[in-house]
Amino acid sequence: MTRPVPAIVILGNGSLATAQKIQQFYPGALIHGLTGRVEGADRVYREFGATLRELYQQDTPIIALCAAGIVIRTLAPLLLEKGAEPPVLAVAEDGSAVVPLLGGLGGVNVMAREIAAALEVSAAITTSGELRFGTCLLNPPSGYVLGDLELGKRFVSDLLAGETVRIEGSAPWLAQAQLPENEHARLTVHVGHAERAPAAHELRIYPRNVLVAVAGEVADASAAIRQALRQAGIAVQSVACLLAADSEMAGSTLREAALELSVPLRFVSAAGAATELVHHAIRPVSIVGDDVVAIAVAEQPLEPSQIGRPRGRLAVIGLGPGAADLMVPAVKAELARANDVLGYETYVRMAGPFRADQVLHCTDNREEMQRARHAFELAAQGRSVVVVSSGDPGVFAMAAAVLEALHESSDAAWHNVDLEILPGVSASLATAAQAGAPLGHDFCVLSLSDNLKPWSIIEKRLDLAAQADLALAFYNPISRSRPWQLGRALEIVSQHREPGTPVVLGRDIGRPGQTLRVTTLGQLGVDQVDMRTMVLIGSSTTRVFPRLDGSTWVYTPRSYGDKLTPIQ
Ligand code: SAH
């Protein structure tokens, strides 16, 4: 199984060299540096605590180059919650000490040893069982799972107290451990996929060597699978994955069953009986069950990622205006899981940095439909694909193009893709927030680009929106190929609005070199606006007042107040 890529978190430039040494050992791991303190990090963060907790909750292994105490204090509030428990390590800034802190069952000691070896020091392993036996019995390698953790803990403490152990069944990693083996021992480690009655003094370890194939719709799939396993005398813990035909991909029953059983769900293109699906996926030792649910047992643990393929995923995401802290966490998580990232080059770069295993497909801004189709082609192969937009993907951006491509397609593989649109902070909202609340009452969002719609429609909408006293947000206000449109738009608005109406111009908001300018409709010149500018025009009630720093607050009150007279 591929292990999750750790995040290396540093607080100052003093730890950068150590961080880079560790990074060489974990290709794809990113160095997260505190903004203003670290130069040369892959990602910058503002708040150490929030960053560490977010990584932890996303189940990302954490290597923090700082005092162990800081890490413990920061993560303490999360430790009582159930949920993610990734490995967490503290490493001395000069690389002289490696301390595994949390995630004993997630392999933290293995990581500690790896890092210590890379830094040529020894890891501060404190787990007695592991020190004594050279392996953590409670944390079998991928392909094996421990039956009962509580029992396991007692088992290890009995071993530490001097008892011996007998091993039944085979697991190569156990053979390598230095367990105090004795064929007459009272304690037994039993490795096998058969369902057995619980026995005193027996620790069960299940190999994940069972595949369950389900053909067709089954009403309560997880109950049917459990029953079939029971009948076959096979432990549910040994199930490595569920398998179904491609035609079942979009259905929810199997997805729910896989979730309930905590196993991956894979697909093969073959249709037909469950036994046929099995033969397309693995070479089983034996098959039991019927045409609907077939259970196949393999000789060795199965690697689910090598069996068939997963349901592909396509997420159309909004990066927000640009600043990392204005990107929603769901979007960050989606970027982390992506195999492929598609988009206009500037936005793809904004979404990075990426790991070496992630494939970037940068295209011209105008090739929207082509990009959307390409995204479906990749996702239909079972890949996890992200299409990036700036701001919100549903606002003059890729979400509509992706849906249009799907709507036009009759390819079942495209319709099977797990499609999701993840929102972002749109430029109008990011700009409004910096100015105050100019869009605090009803407002209208318009793109002034007549590339994709007739100019006459734009004029009509401008006229009616201005007449209706809506505050206005203009996207795509001007460009080299559309030089006169903004001037004409302002003329139309001015027919219904006073020259003193507040106007906000936000340029590159949330990006380096951002500017925010507050002016009035009468003073606004088209030369103050370019294609990276957001234009917000107030309504008749929009007001301004000075801030102490010399700039201006702009807001549109929630109420018409003494202007509660109908508009003529
Ligand atoms: N999907 C994007 C909008 C794409 S249209 C969103 O929701 O924000 C592109 C237009 O958005 C630009 O011409 C500009 O008017 C505006 N825009 C996008 N990002 C901006 C930013 N960071 N600052 C100001 N305006 C921006």
CATH for 53? 3.40.50.11220
3-class DSSP assignment, residue 525: coil
pLDDT of 2 higher than 70: no
Please report the atom of ligand 1 found closest to the CA of residue 510: 22
Q: Whose CA is nearest to atom 4 of ligand 1?
A: 396
CATH number at residue 527: 3.30.950.10
Residue 54 covered by a domain = yes
pTM value is: 0.79
CA distance 421 to 335: 13
pLDDT for the residue numbered 272 = 80
Q: In what order do the strands lie in the sheet with 98-102?
A: 43-45, 30-34, 7-10, 62-65, 88-91, 98-102
Distance 391 CA to ligand 1 centre (A): 7
CA distance 51 to 75: 11
Tokens of 369: 């439909």
Pocket perturbation via mutation, ligand 1, pick of 319, 390, 479, 504 by most ligand atoms within 8 A of CB: 390
Structural domain boundaries, residue 395 = 313-425
Average pLDDT over residues 215-232: 90
Q: Say if residues 258 and 214 touch (Cβ distance below 8 Å).
A: no
3-class DSSP assignment, residue 322: coil
Same domain, 153 and 53: no
Distance 472 CA to ligand 1 centre (A): 14
Q: How far apart are the first and last CA of the chain?
A: 69
Residue 136 covered by a domain = no
pLDDT for the residue numbered 160 = 87
CA distance 326 to 507: 16
Q: In what order do the strands lie in the sheet with 515-520?
A: 443-447, 471-475, 533-537, 502-507, 515-520
CATH number at residue 412: 3.40.1010.10
Q: Which residue, of 404, 425, 446, is where some domain finishes?
A: 425
Ligand 1 in contact with 426 (CB < 6 A)?
A: yes
One-letter amino acid of 459: E
Please report the atom of ligand 1 found closest to the CA of residue 392: 7
Same domain, 117 and 20: yes
Distance 499 CA to ligand 1 centre (A): 25
Same domain, 286 and 324: no
Residue 222 covered by a domain = yes
CA distance 458 to 446: 8
pLDDT of 354 higher than 90: no
DSSP H or E stretch at residue 242: strand 239-245
Angle 90-91-96 from CA coordinates, rounded to 5°: 145
Same domain, 432 and 546: yes
pLDDT for the residue numbered 490 = 97
Q: Whose CA is nearest to atom 6 of ligand 1?
A: 391
Lowest pLDDT segment from 120-129, 369-378, 463-472, 475-484: 120-129
Same domain, 537 and 525: yes
pLDDT for the residue numbered 150 = 83
By C-alpha distance, which of 445, 440, 448 is closest to 427?
445
pLDDT of 109 higher than 60: yes
CA distance 384 to 110: 29
Q: Say if residues 177 and 269 touch (Cβ distance below 8 Å).
A: no
Pocket perturbation via mutation, ligand 1, pick of 344, 396, 449, 508 by most ligand atoms within 8 A of CB: 396
Ligand 1 in contact with 509 (CB < 6 A)?
A: yes
Same domain, 114 and 172: no
Q: Which residue, of 95, 126, 157, is where some domain finishes?
A: 126
Distance 344 CA to ligand 1 centre (A): 13
Name residues whose C-beta falls within 8 Å of residue 479's C-beta, 6 or more positions apart in sequence: 449, 530, 531
Secondary structure (DSSP) of 47-100: -HHHHHHHHHHTT--EEEES-HHHHHHHHHHHHTSSS----EEEE-TTSS-EEE
Q: Say if residues 431 and 502 touch (Cβ distance below 8 Å).
A: no
Distance 507 CA to ligand 1 centre (A): 9
Site of tokens 């991928």: 142
CATH number at residue 254: 3.30.420
Same domain, 232 and 114: no
Residue 131 covered by a domain = no
Ligand 1 in contact with 368 (CB < 6 A)?
A: no
Please report the atom of ligand 1 found closest to the CA of residue 397: 1
One-letter amino acid of 359: V
Residue 488 covered by a domain = yes
Q: Which residue, of 207, 242, 260, is where some domain finishes?
A: 207
Same domain, 432 and 551: yes
pLDDT of 365 higher than 80: no
Q: How many domains, the chain?
A: 5
Ligand 1 in contact with 538 (CB < 6 A)?
A: no
Distance 431 CA to ligand 1 centre (A): 10
The listed range with the strongest mean pLDDT (72-81, 319-328, 487-496) is 487-496
pLDDT of 566 higher than 60: no
Same domain, 500 and 537: yes
How much is the mean pLDDT over the chain? 92
Same domain, 90 and 21: yes
Same domain, 151 and 102: no
Same domain, 445 and 532: yes
pLDDT for the residue numbered 1 = 42
